[in-house]
Amino acid sequence: MKKYCLMAWQMFMIIVLVDSQNPNGFINVDCGLSGYESPYTELMTRLTYTTDADLVESRESGRIDKIFETMYPRPYWTVRSFPKPERNCYKINTERETKYLIRATFLYGNYDGRNTVPSFDLYLGPNLWTMVEANSTTMEVIHHTASQSSLQICLVNTGSGTPFINVLELRPLNLDAYTTPSGSLKMLFRWYLGNPDGGMIRYPSDVYDRYWYPPSQQKHLIPITTTLNVDTKNDYNPPETVMATAATPRDANASWTVEWIVEPPNTQCYPYVYFSELQTLGANETREFTMFLAGADFHSPISPGPLITTTIFDRLPTQCDGKCVLELTKTSTSTLPPVLSAIEVYTVMDFPLVETNEDDVTGIKDVQGTYELNKLNWQGDPCTPRQFLWEGLKCDHSDNSTRPTIITLDLSSSGLTGVIAEAIRNLAHLQHLDLSNNSLSGGVPEFLADMSSLLVINLSSNNLSGSVPQTLAQKKRMKLNVEGNPLLICTTGTSCVNKQGKDGDRIKNVVIAVVVASLALLIITALLILFLYRHKRRPSVVEGPRSNMQELDDLPLPIGIYSEISL
Ligand SMILES: *[C@@H]1O[C@H](CO)[C@@H](O)[C@H](O)[C@H]1NC(C)=O
Ligand SMILES: *[C@@H]1O[C@H](CO)[C@@H](O)[C@H](O)[C@H]1NC(C)=O
Ligand SMILES: *[C@@H]1O[C@H](CO)[C@@H](O)[C@H](O)[C@H]1NC(C)=O
Ligand SMILES: *[C@@H]1O[C@H](CO)[C@@H](O)[C@H](O)[C@H]1NC(C)=O
Ligand SMILES: *[C@@H]1O[C@H](CO)[C@@H](O)[C@H](O)[C@H]1NC(C)=O
Ligand SMILES: *[C@@H]1O[C@H](CO)[C@@H](O)[C@H](O)[C@H]1NC(C)=O
Ligand SMILES: *[C@@H]1O[C@H](CO)[C@@H](O)[C@H](O)[C@H]1NC(C)=O
């Protein structure tokens, strides 16, 4: 009795744990969910879903028509929509160098009462992922390795209605599975065979929460099932329910083909084919078959092991000119037809554009936060793609072996208040900083002088005070404009309009002219004094010139300005 109690208690503990905690790294976002309904536990999976309120700017949300609610699980019910601006992005925190299954789900469900299904583009970071046309439930799945500590998923209005999204899910995958030398893998389909009425299989049966569907057309197939345990442990870990069923062709001698279409025709694809021998073979029985993909041998011959999972795939993708054919044929010595439990097919997506330098992104986000800048298009990646460049920025894309960097920040006439943001110093590649025509107060910070790439700083027409730091005023390659700051004191040796543009050149010329003039004056004075001494102290001719030299040396020459003349 005691033992049973303990077991029951342990069971309870396990259920509580499953209830309150998603599997490691699972991210479940119910888009458009209101804050007070978040989080909740989805009944079928016991996974916890949370609102997207902190992940996007848009506050617009909706709910699908009541008639659909009974047909779909709860995460589908609410919708986040994006009437403006053109691009809206989700920022999801990820683990670096982790491969994720990313699933975005769209179900229009007449959420806006207009009965018009929009279409729009979906981006993964700076790259186009796919076009979404969400007449019925649309699910986009991609296996993508996160290179940075966050990932942007963006919806882009293409003029065919308001973009929207219902669910966003991320699941970490095994790094050794679904490998490709380049690009990411977009799912085309994922089927399991032998149980046409089995319905969709997902988490918790599938540890990665992949969705496995039975294809509706299985009339030409004979199902095979087992009640025994099937070992599913390999890099791909398919669900046991998927591997406990299989199918063989009705016509045992004919070739069995699985076909799919790829668009465009030169698309490269990766099939993953799952087998297990579920029948107990007699001593006189054998099952062996060949497998051909696009006319080429695909790891033949195959003889699935009893109740263990074999996953067949290639290390390199296959290109099949529009229509891909996978052909399974019994070998001449085999007594039994081919068998197949499941198949997944992915296509290779090349994502050539890289995200902006991560430190620059952090820096510009900090600046945005400091000034509470409400710039609608400041979403997604700041620099790429170029058509969505953030307003007020210019970026350097010239070296395609490195990430783009931010080189211009123009926040002139942006109603900025407070002090010059410390966060600016994190923009290490900045060449041009324009904060003119705002209401900035406080001092001109010293750190601007340490930013080695800065060439132009425009702080004109603000309410800055204190004095311009010497280090900044004396920077040689930097143009500084601090005009129109009535409270700003310009110390000796520095100028409030130091070295800027045409004005700067003019001022520099004036400075040089003044220095030359005063030098001339000095020399003339010295000569005059020398002359006078010679005349006054004729007797002490020997001492005279020495003391005159002394006097000349003692004159306070503006050393700093001399260095400027030498330029
Ligand atoms: C979705 O709509 C497009 C055109 O708006 C149409 O071509 C396509 O057949 C529709 N798909 C479904 C499943 O209704
Ligand atoms: C398959 O071929 C073998 C001989 O190659 C024949 O004996 C058998 O009847 C054939 N089976 C079917 C179902 O056609
Ligand atoms: C295999 O042997 C069994 C009897 O042990 C027999 O009933 C069956 O027909 C044989 N099958 C083949 C393909 O020869
Ligand atoms: C980088 O740029 C060079 C020259 O502009 C070009 O030849 C090369 O293909 C580019 N590389 C990539 C990966 O875009
Ligand atoms: C300065 O900003 C104000 C509004 O903040 C604007 O009306 C004005 O045109 C700007 N002046 C210049 C020179 O940009
Ligand atoms: C600095 O800003 C002012 C006002 O926005 C502008 O008139 C001026 O041309 C700018 N100077 C430089 C060097 O960018
Ligand atoms: C400028 O700053 C001073 C304090 O440093 C403040 O008294 C004054 O009102 C400010 N002027 C404007 C136009 O904001």
Residues 21 and 125 in one domain: yes
Same structural domain, 224 and 340: yes
Q: What is the pLDDT of residue 16?
A: 41
Q: How many domains does the chain have?
A: 4
Mutate to test the pocket of ligand 3, among 281, 284, 286 (most ligand atoms within 8 A of CB): 284
Q: Which ligand does the CA of 287 lie closest to?
A: 3
In a domain, residue 84? The reply is yes
Q: Which residues contact 186 (CB under 8 A, 6 or more apart)?
A: 129, 130, 140, 141, 142, 346, 347, 348, 349
- CA-closest residue to ligand 2 atom 14: 253
Residue 350 has pLDDT above 90, yes or no: yes
Residue nearest to atom 3 of ligand 2 (CA): 253
| Rounded average pLDDT over 149-177 | 95
Last residue of a domain, one of 173, 202, 232: 173
CA of 457 to the centre of ligand 6 (A): 9
Q: Are residues 516 and 484 both part of a single domain?
A: no
Q: Is 506 helix (H, G, I), strand (E, B) or coil?
A: helix
- If you measure from the C-alpha of residue 391 to the centroid of ligand 5, how many angstroms do you get, rounded to a whole number? 17
Please tell me if the CB atom of residue 253 comes closer than 6 angstroms to any atom of ligand 2: yes
Residue type, 271: P
The whole-angstrom separation of Cα 290 and Cα 288 is 7
Residues 226 and 150 grouped into a single domain: no
**pLDDT, greater one: 89 or 5:** 89
Let me know whether 238 and 307 are in one domain: yes
Q: Given a cut of 90, is residue 72 above it in pLDDT?
A: yes
Atom of ligand 6 nearest to the CA of 479: 13
What is the span of the domain harbouring residue 539? 506-554
Q: Is the CB of 465 under 6 A from ligand 7?
A: yes
Which residues, at least 6 apart from 12, have a Cβ–Cβ distance to it below 8 Å? none
pLDDT digits (tens, 9 = 90+) for 484-543: 998 888 765 445 554 343 344 444 444 444 444 565 556 556 666 665 666 554 433 333
- Residue with token string 């030169």: 266
**Domain co-membership, 220 together with 155:** no
117 C-alpha to ligand 1 centroid (Å): 9
Residue 472 pLDDT level (bands cut at 50, 70, 90): confident
Is 38 among the domain residues?
Answer: yes
On whether both 131 and 25 belong to a single domain, the answer is yes
Say how many Å lie between the CA of residue 400 and the centre of ligand 4.
6
Least confidently predicted of 40-54, 165-179, 457-471, 546-560: 546-560
Determine, yes or no, domain membership for 2.
no
Model confidence at 22, pLDDT cuts 50, 70, 90, reads confident
Query: Does the structure show a pLDDT above 90 at 36?
Result: yes
Of the listed ligands, the closest to the CA of 398 is: 4
b/e code 185-204 from CB counts within 10 Å (16+ = b): bbbbebbbbbbbebeebbbe
Ligand 1, pocket residues at CB < 6 Å: 133, 135-136
Which ligand gives the minimal distance to the CA of 285?
Answer: 3
Does residue 40 share a domain with residue 166?
yes
Q: Which has the closest alpha carbon to 21: 38, 37, 41? A: 41
Closest residue by Cα to residue 89 from 519, 300, 378, 383: 378
pLDDT attached to residue 60? 94
Ligand 7 pocket member 419 (CB < 6 A): no
Ligand closest to CA 134:
1
Q: Has residue 19 been placed in a domain?
A: yes
485: CA distance to ligand 5 center in Å? 15
Ligand number with the minimum distance to the CA of 333:
2
Q: Are 412 and 438 in contact (CB under 8 A)?
A: yes
Other CB atoms within a 10 A radius of the CB of residue 160 amount to 14
Enter the pTM of the model.
Answer: 0.79
**CA 505 / ligand 6 centre spacing (Å):** 15
In a domain, 180, yes or no: no
Are 111 and 118 contacting, i.e. CB atoms less than 8 angstroms apart? no
Chosen domain end from 499, 514, 543:
499
Q: What whole-number distance in Å separates Cα of residue 312 and Cα of residue 272? A: 6
Point out the ligand 5 atom lying closest to the alpha carbon of residue 437: 1
Atom 8 of ligand 3: nearest residue by CA position: 284
Mutate to test the pocket of ligand 1, among 106, 117, 133, 160 (most ligand atoms within 8 A of CB): 133
Amino acid identity for residue 164 in this structure = F
Which of these, 43, 101, 54, 100, lies nearest to 77 by C-alpha position?
A: 43
- Å from CA of 253 to ligand 2 middle: 6
The alpha carbon of 296 and the centre of ligand 2 are apart by a number of angstroms equal to 26
pLDDT in tens, 367-386: 999 998 888 889 899 999 99
Give the distance (Å) from ligand 4 centre to CA of residue 399: 8
User: Does 447 reside within a domain?
Assistant: yes
The model's pLDDT over 323-344, given as tens digits with 9 standing for 90+, comes to 999 999 999 999 999 999 999 9
The answer to whether residue 37 is domain-embedded is yes
Separation between Cα atoms, residue 7 and residue 489, nearest integer Å: 78
What DSSP letter does each residue of 90-121 carry, written as one string? Answer: EEEE--TTEEEEEEEEE--TTTTSS----EEE
CA atoms within 13 A of residue 17's CA, in its CB half-sphere: 8
CB atoms within 10 A of CB 470: 15
Residue 468's Cβ-count burial label (10 Å; 0-12, 13-18, 19+) is buried
342: domain CATH number?
2.60.120
Provide the edge-to-edge strand list for the sheet that holds 439-442: 417-418, 439-442, 463-464
Tokens of 103: 């699933």
Same domain, 150 and 33: yes
> Is 560 a member of any domain?
no
- Separation between Cα atoms, residue 47 and residue 21, nearest integer Å: 8
Q: How confident is the model at residue 275 (pLDDT cuts 50, 70, 90)?
A: very high
Q: From the alpha carbon of 136, which atom of ligand 1 is closest? A: 13
pLDDT of 522 reads 60
> What residues are paired with 40 via a beta bridge?
49
Whether residues 336 and 199 share a domain: the answer is: yes
Which of 349, 379, 412 represents a domain boundary (last residue)? 349
Protein residues whose CB sits closer than 6 Å to any atom of ligand 6: 412, 434, 436-437, 456, 458, 460-461, 481, 500-501
pLDDT band at 293 (very low <50, low <70, confident <90, very high): very high
Domain identity same for 487 and 539: no
CATH number of domain containing 78: 2.60.120.260
Cα(210) to ligand 1 centroid in Å equals: 26
Mean pLDDT of 82-111: 95
For residue 62, which of 34, 98, 25, 24 has the smallest C-alpha distance?
Answer: 34
Determine the distance separating the centroid of ligand 5 and the alpha carbon of 412, expressed in angstroms. Answer: 8
Average of per-residue pLDDT across 12-20: 44
Atom of ligand 6 nearest to the CA of 458: 1
Residue 376 contacts by C-beta under 8 Å, 6 or more apart in sequence?
Answer: 57, 84, 85
pLDDT of residue 489: 82
- Residue 18: predicted pLDDT: 43
Nearest to 98 by CA among 4, 30, 12, 25: 25
Residue with the two structure tokens 């005691």: 2
Please say if the pLDDT value at position 278 is more than 80. Answer: yes
If you measure from the C-alpha of residue 371 to the centroid of ligand 6, how many angstroms do you get, rounded to a whole number?
A: 21
Q: The domain that contains 478 carries what CATH number?
A: 3.80.10.10
Q: Are residues 343 and 471 in the same domain?
A: no
pLDDT number for residue 435: 96
Residue 532: its pLDDT value, please?
61
Structure tokens at 555: 């004159």
Q: Where are the alpha helices (DSSP H) in 261-399?
A: 358-370
Q: Give the other-Cβ count within 10 Å of 523's Cβ.
A: 11
3-state SS, residue 265: coil
**What pLDDT band is residue 470 in, cutting at 50, 70 and 90?**
confident
- Residue 87 binned pLDDT confidence (cut-offs 50, 70, 90): very high
| Spatial contact of 289 and 335, defined as CB atoms under 8 Å apart | no
Closest listed residue to residue 472, CA positions, set 439, 443, 437, 506:
443
DSSP string, 154-215: EEEEEEES--EESEEEEEE--TTSS--SSSEEEEEEEEE-S-TTS--B-TTTSTT---BB--
The token pair that represents 279 in the structure block: 């029948």
Task: Report CA(352)–ligand 4 centroid distance (Å).
Answer: 10
Encoded tokens for 223: 């199902």
User: Which ligand is closest to the CA of 138, given by its number?
Assistant: 1
User: 3-state SS of 234-286?
Assistant: CCCCCCHHHHCEEEEECCCCCCEEEEEECCCCCCEEEEEEEECECCCCCCCCC
Q: Which residue has the tokens 């609102």?
A: 51
Check residue 75 and report its DSSP letter.
Answer: G
